[in-house]
Amino acid sequence: MELEGTQELQADPQTVWAALFDRDVLERAIPGCETLEQTAETEFAATVKLKVGPVSARFKGGVELSDIVPLVSCTLSGKGSGGIAGFAKGAARVTLEDLGETTRLTYSADAAVGGKLASLGNRLIKSTAQKLAGEFFANFEAILAEQAEPAPVPEPAE
């Protein structure tokens, strides 16, 4: 299954790039993410709860960032096991383009599922994946917007 998309983000590439590697940002942006641990500089372990059609499952798996060209592109690959619901795996190439004030993010992903997810949810997987990607970027953008606002200056103690 192949997925492609572009998203224009209201931030410069430096900010977007930093956010993509920020554990806290990712944990909040990934739909259904329950835990996300950074296990190495470019590796994360995640628990994500997802529902595809009639199958709902808690996936445990890892995400790795590779082929990193700083501020320009990287590949995210991951695989997760959802117990008897099956498994999901995939890789996405993410590219950033500097548009001055904003950044255009382009992704092209190839994903596969197995077990009950494949046998039951097959018709729904692509639409679900697209919906999840949409949710991810909506969350991501909201977090970026939050960060862009100046942090409130703490009142002096006295």
Partner 1 sequence: MTLQDTNTAAARAPHIGQAHRRQTARRHLAGRGRFVSDIVLPRMLHAAFVRSPMARGRIVEIDTRDAEQSPGVVRVFTARDLNPSCKPWTGTLDHFASMVSAPQNILAEEEVLWAGHPVAMVLARTRAEAEDACELVMLDIEEGEACVDGHAALSGDAPRAAPGLDSNLCFQTVLETMAVDAAFAGAAHVVEGDFTFGRHTAVTLEPRSVVADFDAASEQLTVHHGTQTPYQFQDIYARHFGLSESRVRVIAPDVGGSFGMKLHLYNEEMAAVAASLKLGRPVKFVADRLESFVSDIHARDHKVSARMALDAEGTILAMEVDDMTQIGAFSTYPRTSVAEGNQVVRLMGAPYRMPDYRGRLSVVFQNKVQTSQYRAVGHPIACAVTEALVDKAAARLGVDPFEIRARNVVPDDAYPFVSATGYSFEKLSHEACLAKLRDLMDYDALRAEQAALRERGIYRGIGIAPFVEITNPGAAFYGVGGARISAQDGAVVRLTPSGEVQCAISVTEQGQGTETIISQIVADQLGVAPEQVKVTTGDTDTTPSGGATWACRGAGIGGETALRAGRKLQGQILALAGQILQSDPADLALADGHVVDAQSGTRRMPLAEIGRIATYRPDTLPEAADNSLTAAEHFAPSGYPFDFTNGIQASLVEVDVETGIVRLLKHWVVEDCGRIINPLLVDEQIRGGVVQGLGPALFEECLYDETGQMTNASLADYLVPMACEMPDIVIGHVETPTNDTILGAKGVGEAGTAAAGVAALNAVNDALSPFKAEIRQTPMTPLRILAALGHV
The answer to whether 122 contacts partner 1 (rule: CB under 8 A) is yes
Complex with partner 1: residue 57 or 144, whichever CB lies closer: 57
Question: Mask 86-115, x = binds partner 1 (CB under 8 A)?
Answer: xx------------------------xxxx
Gyration radius of the chain's alpha carbons: 17
Q: How far apart are CA 123 and CA 54, in angstroms?
A: 11
The answer to whether 123 contacts partner 1 (rule: CB under 8 A) is yes
Q: How far apart are CA 131 and CA 64, in angstroms?
A: 22
Query: ∠ CA 83-67-1 to the nearest 5 degrees?
Result: 45
Return all residues near 155 (Cβ < 8 A) that are at least 6 apart. Answer: none
CB of 79 to partner 1, least distance (A): 9
CB of 85 to partner 1, least distance (A): 8
CB of 82 to partner 1, least distance (A): 8
Question: Mask 29-58, x = binds partner 1 (CB under 8 A)?
Answer: -------------------------x--x-
Place of tokens 């920020």: 22
Please count the CA atoms within 13 angstroms of the CA of 13 that sit on its side-chain side: 15
The answer to whether 119 contacts partner 1 (rule: CB under 8 A) is yes
What are the residues binding partner 1 (CB under 8 A)?
A: 54, 57, 81, 83-87, 112-120, 122-123
